[in-house]
Structure 1
Amino acid sequence: MRRLIKNEDGWNVTGDPTEGALIVAARKLGFAQEELERLYPRIAEIPFSSERKRMTTVHKTPQGEVYAYVKGAPEVILERCSRILEGGVERRLTAEKKRAVLKINEEFAEDALRVLGMAYRRLDAPKKRYTEKIESDLVFVGLMGMIDPPREEVKDAIRLCKKAGIKPVMITGDHKLTAVAVAREIGMLENGGLVLTGEELDRLSDEEFEKIVEDVKVYARVSPEHKLRIVKALKKKGHIVAMTGDGVNDAPALKNADIGIAMGITGTDVTKEASDMILMDDNFATIVNAVKHGRIIYDNIRKFAFFLLRCNFDELAVIATFAILGMPLPLTAPMILWINLVTDGGPATALSMDPPMEDVMARPPRDPKQGILYGRILQIIISFISQYLGTTFVFLLVYKYGFFAWGLSETERLMKAQTMCFVQATLRELVVVWNCRSETKSAFKLSWTSNKFLLVAEAVSILSSILIVYVPILRMMFGTTPLGIYEWLLVGSIASLGFLWMPEYLYEKRVFKWV
């Protein structure tokens, strides 16, 4: 129920904003809602709907008479009027007077005003039930124009939509001229575009509508059935469609859309049940903000999966290779567990909290058919091969050929080789993670300090790896041995090769037709 309420912050309107505007206008003219409701009690109502485009209430006057008061779209109200109130006198509504009223209506609409037509009819004695029959032979009273200004943030949201490859479309029950004026104000018709009314849409066949549906930017005077038709036509063209709605009859369109969005403030329970998402503040800019955050979340999920797949297959391949050859394994079980759980875990988690890239809302929507690793298979393969070769090279160099292990026994040489392989694998993964943050930019083109979580994860992983190499109790648990400066330089140099696999040169490059 709409009400005008006074509190510490001043006057506020609850309920439907259009009804609220009428109550405020009446109050400014000296008519209090509570007093009118007492003197003219409502005894019946024929509610508004998008199809009818009008609403009627039946009231009893202090003199005992019964009146029906009707408001709605001016052209709809005028069609049901036979007389007009002029100077307090009811006169015949001629075609000329009707044209004059419609002309004023258009002038209001061109100024972006939402216009309501008002009429009444005197009825006989009260009845138990009233039908639409009372909405005929009305007396036209006048027009009420009100402005529903778009929120300041809507213009920026529309601009951001276009930049992000999202096409916003206005669907309204308002007059065509009102819709066009508002659309121009918020930047929806800057580069042209078609404007269709519900009546014009009804005259088009499905085939004719599908040919132009992608060019239509504004729909005016439409009904919920038109919304459903628009959704189906856009989906048939291969678009991902999000549709907003608040009325009960909007539910089918929301249900058929890829993303149905119900209004949290003005939306009905039926609409909310049919929707996929409820907009708690009824603000279009919030939808755009949700798209932005959705892209950020999806990007970070991709980074997380990409990093883990780049770093884990090589260990399996190394272990399998040396097991098949009957040679000692380059990595022990505790080392593998540490790499997978600690060295990988911290940076991977930090990637899920990576700040958004600058172009997150400057690129078109992704193809829904694309997998989560789209465009990155070649990078995964190269990382796998280089990591495999790096670990194998270090192990054979130290264990097989005795480099950095002069004068050591075979057991000591094996321990040294495994330690160097462990450190090399750990450092490589801590290097590779920096090139997992963007699809098109390498670590050298991004800020090194923008993700504080990643810096902490890297520091913890490096420090813990050093402790495993030098703390006696940890050395005993992991089977490691201390390394000298030259050994660190060798494994560090090999690990740093991970910086070379830059995403800007490898993204979307195919190895085979299907990869």
Structure 2
Amino acid sequence: MLQTETAESPHTQSEAEILRTYHSDEEKGLTNAQVAERSLKYGSNELAVAPSEPWWKRFGRQFADLLIWILIAAALISGALGEWVDAIAILAIVLLNGLLGFVQEGRADDALVALRKLSSPQARVIREGKLTSVSAKTLVPGDRIELETGDRVPADLRLLGAAGLRVEEAALTGESVPSDKDHRVVLDEAVPLGERSNMAYMGTSVAAGTASALVVATGMSTEIGKIAGMLERHEIEPTPLQVRLSQLGRTLLYVVVGIVAVMFVAQVARGGRLVDAFLLAVSLAVAAVPEGLSAVVTVALALGLQRMAARHALIRRLPCVETLGAVTVICSDKTGTLTRNQMTVQEIESGGERYEVTGTGYEPVGQFRMANSEGQSAESWTVVDPMQQQSLLEALKVGAWCSHTHVAQSDKAGGGWEVVGDPTEAALLVAASKAGLTVNDRLERIVFEIPFSSDRKAMSVVARVDDTKLFMFTKGAPEVVLGKCTQEYVRGGLQLLTDDRREAIITAANQMAQRSLRVLGLASREAFESHKLGETNLVFAGLAGMMDPPREEAAEAVSRCRSAGIRPVMITGDHPDTARAIALSLGIMRVKEQVMLGSDLNLLDDAELGEAVLKTSVYARVTAAHKLRIVMAWRGRSEIVAMTGDGINDAPAIKAANVGIAMGISGTDVTKEAADMVLADDNFASIVNAIEEGRTIYDNILKVVHYLLATNAGEVLLMVGAAIFGLPVPLVAIHLLVINLLTDALPAMALGVERPEPNVMQHPPRPPKIPIISLRSGLHIVYQGVLNAGVSAVAFWWVYRGQAVNLLAARTATFCTIALAQMLFALGCRSNRYTFLQLGLFTNKWLLAAFAVSSGLLAAIVTIPILQPVFQIAALPFLRDWLLVFMLALLPVTFLELGKLLQSYRAKA
């Protein structure tokens, strides 16, 4: 039985049982014949990649929208009318929209390609009794391999032997510190992935120690392979705006068909020619369709993308920009997202004194502050020079020597600090560096080592501190290290450890652990003959408490989320106590709330989980599958979910979320490729900034939709009203097309780049199911359309006065009135709550420029004699006619602004 045929999971079998299961020899490994046979059966140790979708299908999918087809139909109608410039412009808009979507979305299977990069290129394997290096992709179940510090684990392994083995599994399990491994244990089936101490998994790395192991799963059968399968199965769904614009397109289609039918029948009934009736009807249909909408939405999204990039949020899929504005829940990984994924020493207890170490991360910058005897409040700490604190210096010295880890500044762009080895040892090295204590040629001066083991819970090195003296340095579990000590470093030198003092040290260690610190005991003594040494008669140097600290800006970002009506949720594979401490410090959960474990989640079906998510803010000890279920549970409640993370185990949930967000610096390639958005600065606060931009963009799109529909409704109502009352048509086909070009293009695009309104993050997200045009906004659109139609009708009748000889001049007055009214109306559409004077007349300079250009073109059409016959325009000879046009054009926006002032007055009252 091999791989998926295995009746029992590898972690539930002993070393002897697993060797029998996989028909392998611990000393000789597999034979070449066995390898060849299994290669044929199980294939290459690589992750499968789904066939990529042909480019032409991806490009064609950009046009699978009803509104797009309405625009194409409008272009064809314009061409049939001989308006080729208009037709070409509409088709260019549609093509631009498709190209931008095609370029921004990219391929959905990029995440699987990135997963393949995590496989170790080489592995040391024993075959036919010989140790050799082979390509990791040639490994098969049953292969015997060797691991050492720094190796990338090339497949899923059952450990057969281990010496001080610690494996960095944060990317897979979310555990913030390397996991200690013990090959001798046999575990229950239900033991979570992050606690399987006799296993090592593909894509993780060896932080310390050595091991021999048996390959138990390769390729898609590995834990990473299962994650790849989850990514492959999940389909990308349309965004809320895409759904609502599609619904709007269908509604407009029905309206347009109705308008064409009414106008055609009315004209024929009045004795008009069939050709003239058809041309007028389809011209009005073109006017009814807001062909500028698609272009404005695309431009608004693209400009939003640029603004987000300036705020460190890089968008990979263009529609994600507007989806951010609807986010109601943010599910966030802890390690590397809310925290730095950089272990940091925060407290040291030494010589009866408690010290606080400031500074976070691996940069060796920080202060040492000693607690005064009167208390532990912020005012009771005193900054000290660590070089003048002998017991503290001894503790730091132990941490610096007792390590195989390297910490150095990165050569990559942006600098930063990189660690090769165990993050816990890195934290101790950095703490020593903060004190100015460095050890040159550390590894070369270590002459003997007693490695860490899970039984001993300690490790020691013997090093030549100078040319003559050897010293033993020991670190490990506080109670274990303390049990090996007989003396203690204090201010005055050395003193014997009494029972009372031992009890006080253990109490201090427990208190540090209750603050969710990982606590290590530190000790040393002078040595003489390294080969005869045991870990006895040590001198206790102190306790070091460390943790992966929260990001400084994360608490403020969480607070902004809550004020904006967004629910923050932490999902981590880390220890529940650690998760709880971080969540409480950031304000994600309250004291009375409970942390839900992955094992608890397994007991809930989907319906029960759908209820449980409402009461749970923090999940711990969860796997990739758990994270995916939590995200889908929230989505099942019709919430718009953002999922953030940096590890491989976050990728399926990130891809399944409405908005998937990856960390750009610490994130794996898998996570970045699965995400819709990447944070260039790994800053949780950048998510909130991106949501603010998303809300602004969506608000601007709604303003554009409102403006376009209200102005187009004015044209339609004017024409339909004239037909119903038996009047001559106030506008001919060319007038309708020119008005659309003047008012639907530049002013609408300028509205799409409006700045955020005040307090945009002080109200809850828009309801996920709210239509893009609600009943209330629809009534406002009709009301404003009536205003535009009404003032235009007044202008027409004032000049026409029932005389056929005045018809051309009347149509000119109507044309100028409705065009100018729509341009001025754009000023009032900048906000639903604030007047354009309250917002500031010059705060949207693009809109003022659009007004100037459009009104200039309007004046040119009316006043230049050579253009008048082309556009069927007559000059307005009387000043009173121009005054009438301006006065009437001002009325709609005036009514709109007065309504806002009245609404504000009522709200205050």
Q: Does 272-281 or 337-346 show the bigger shift?
A: 272-281
Rounded to whole Å, the distance in 2 between the matches of 1:388 and 1:40 is: 93
1:438 and 2:842 aligned:
no
**Contact 1:228–1:253 (8 Å) recurs in 2:** yes
1:345 and 2:748 aligned:
no
What's the offset of the Cα at 1:117? 8.8
1:155 and 2:550 aligned:
no
Q: Any idea what SS the aligned residue of 1:169 has? A: strand
For the structure 1 residues 257 and 332, does the alpha-carbon distance in structure 2 shift closer, same or farther, using more than 3 Å as the test? Answer: closer
For the structure 1 residues 371 and 142, does the alpha-carbon distance in structure 2 shift closer, same or farther, using more than 3 Å as the test? Answer: farther
Query: 1:13-38 deviations in whole A, cap 9, x for unaligned?
Result: 12589464344246665445x75289
Rounded to whole Å, the distance in 1 between the matches of 2:750 and 2:778 is: 22
What's the offset of the Cα at 1:166? 0.6
What's the offset of the Cα at 1:377? 0.6
Query: 1:226-264 deviations in whole A, cap 9, x for unaligned?
Result: 434433443344433222222222333333333332222
- Residues 1-400 of structure 1 aligned to structure 2 (within 5 Å): 3-5=406-408, 12-15=416-419, 18=423, 20-25=426-431, 30-31=438-439, 35-36=442-443, 86-87=484-485, 104=508, 106-111=510-515, 113=517, 144-173=544-573, 176-189=576-589, 192=591, 194-196=593-595, 198=597, 201=600, 205-206=604-605, 211-220=611-620, 222-319=622-719, 322=722, 328-374=728-774, 375-400=776-801
Rounded to whole Å, the distance in 1 between the matches of 2:619 and 2:569 is: 8
Q: Any idea what SS the aligned residue of 1:265 has? A: coil
Rounded to whole Å, the distance in 2 between the matches of 1:3 and 1:329 is: 83
Q: Which residue type is aligned with residue 787 of structure 2?
A: S
Q: Which residue type is aligned with residue 484 of structure 1?
A: F
Q: Does 414-423 or 226-235 show the bigger shift?
A: 226-235
Q: Any idea what SS the aligned residue of 1:170 has? A: strand
For the structure 1 residues 476 and 38, does the alpha-carbon distance in structure 2 shift closer, same or farther, using more than 3 Å as the test? Answer: farther
For the structure 1 residues 389 and 40, does the alpha-carbon distance in structure 2 shift closer, same or farther, using more than 3 Å as the test? Answer: farther
Counterpart in the other structure of 1:466: 859
Counterpart in the other structure of 1:406: none
For the structure 1 residues 84 and 317, does the alpha-carbon distance in structure 2 shift closer, same or farther, using more than 3 Å as the test? Answer: same
Counterpart in the other structure of 1:414: 807
What's the offset of the Cα at 1:162? 0.9
**Contact 1:247–1:268 (8 Å) recurs in 2:** yes
Q: Which residue type is aligned with residue 744 of structure 2?
A: D
**Contact 1:379–1:506 (8 Å) recurs in 2:** no
Query: 1:294-324 deviations in whole A, cap 9, x for unaligned?
Result: 1111111111122111111332444455568
What's the offset of the Cα at 1:390? 2.6
Q: Relative contact order: is structure 1 or structure 2 higher (C-alpha 8 Å, sep ≥ 6)?
A: 2
Query: 1:410-458 deviations in whole A, cap 9, x for unaligned?
Result: 44x2222112101110121023212322233444543322211111212
For the structure 1 residues 254 and 442, does the alpha-carbon distance in structure 2 shift closer, same or farther, using more than 3 Å as the test? Answer: same
**Contact 1:110–1:178 (8 Å) recurs in 2:** no
Rounded to whole Å, the distance in 2 between the matches of 1:229 and 1:114 is: 30
Rounded to whole Å, the distance in 2 between the matches of 1:271 and 1:371 is: 32
Q: Does 9-18 or 342-351 show the bigger shift?
A: 9-18
Q: Any idea what SS the aligned residue of 1:477 has? A: coil
Rounded to whole Å, the distance in 2 between the matches of 1:348 and 1:41 is: 75
Q: Does 211-220 or 366-375 show the bigger shift?
A: 211-220
For the structure 1 residues 103 and 258, does the alpha-carbon distance in structure 2 shift closer, same or farther, using more than 3 Å as the test? Answer: farther
Q: Any idea what SS the aligned residue of 1:214 has? A: coil
**Contact 1:376–1:506 (8 Å) recurs in 2:** no
Q: Which residue type is aligned with residue 21 of structure 1?
A: A
Rounded to whole Å, the distance in 1 between the matches of 2:796 and 2:632 is: 62
Rounded to whole Å, the distance in 1 between the matches of 2:629 and 2:505 is: 32
What's the offset of the Cα at 1:204? 6.2
**Contact 1:110–1:181 (8 Å) recurs in 2:** no
Task: Find the partner of 1:496 among 860, 872, 890.
Answer: 890
**Contact 1:193–1:217 (8 Å) recurs in 2:** no
Rounded to whole Å, the distance in 2 between the matches of 1:304 and 1:437 is: 9
Query: 1:354-384 deviations in whole A, cap 9, x for unaligned?
Result: 1111132111111222222234111111122
Counterpart in the other structure of 1:138: none
Q: Does 302-311 or 230-239 show the bigger shift?
A: 230-239
Rounded to whole Å, the distance in 2 between the matches of 1:10 and 1:454 is: 38
Q: Which residue type is aligned with residue 447 of structure 1?
A: G
Q: Which residue type is aligned with residue 339 of structure 1?
A: I
Counterpart in the other structure of 1:452: 845
Counterpart in the other structure of 1:132: none
Rounded to whole Å, the distance in 2 between the matches of 1:176 and 1:168 is: 17
**Contact 2:717–2:786 (8 Å) recurs in 1:** no
Q: Any idea what SS the aligned residue of 1:347 has? A: helix
Q: Any idea what SS the aligned residue of 1:379 has? A: helix
Q: TM-score, with normalisation over the residues of structure 2? A: 0.43
Rounded to whole Å, the distance in 2 between the matches of 1:242 and 1:341 is: 39
**Contact 1:109–1:175 (8 Å) recurs in 2:** no
Rounded to whole Å, the distance in 2 between the matches of 1:354 and 1:29 is: 55
Aligned-residue RMSD, C-alpha:
4.7
What's the offset of the Cα at 1:338? 2.4
Rounded to whole Å, the distance in 2 between the matches of 1:232 and 1:82 is: 45
Rounded to whole Å, the distance in 1 between the matches of 2:584 and 2:799 is: 72
Q: Which residue type is aligned with residue 418 of structure 2?
A: T
Rounded to whole Å, the distance in 1 between the matches of 2:448 and 2:660 is: 39
What's the offset of the Cα at 1:144? 4.5
Q: Which residue type is aligned with residue 842 of structure 2?
A: T
Unaligned stretches of 5+ residues in structure 1:
47-51, 63-70, 90-97, 119-140, 403-409, 508-515
Rounded to whole Å, the distance in 2 between the matches of 1:226 and 1:7 is: 35
Query: 1:143-168 deviations in whole A, cap 9, x for unaligned?
Result: 75225443443233122111111111
Rounded to whole Å, the distance in 2 between the matches of 1:480 and 1:59 is: 99
Q: How many residues align structurally?
A: 449
Q: Does 359-368 or 440-449 show the bigger shift?
A: 440-449
For the structure 1 residues 88 and 162, does the alpha-carbon distance in structure 2 shift closer, same or farther, using more than 3 Å as the test? Answer: same
Q: Any idea what SS the aligned residue of 2:613 has? A: helix
Counterpart in the other structure of 2:874: 480
Rounded to whole Å, the distance in 1 between the matches of 2:618 and 2:766 is: 25
Rounded to whole Å, the distance in 2 between the matches of 1:304 and 1:10 is: 40
What's the offset of the Cα at 1:283? 1.0
Rounded to whole Å, the distance in 1 between the matches of 2:609 and 2:697 is: 36
Rounded to whole Å, the distance in 2 between the matches of 1:105 and 1:202 is: 32
Q: Which residue type is aligned with residue 422 of structure 1?
A: F
Aligned-pair identity (%): 40
Q: Which residue type is aligned with residue 511 of structure 2?
A: E
Q: Does 105-114 or 362-371 show the bigger shift?
A: 105-114
Rounded to whole Å, the distance in 2 between the matches of 1:369 and 1:506 is: 29
Q: Any idea what SS the aligned residue of 1:155 has? A: helix
**Contact 2:554–2:685 (8 Å) recurs in 1:** yes
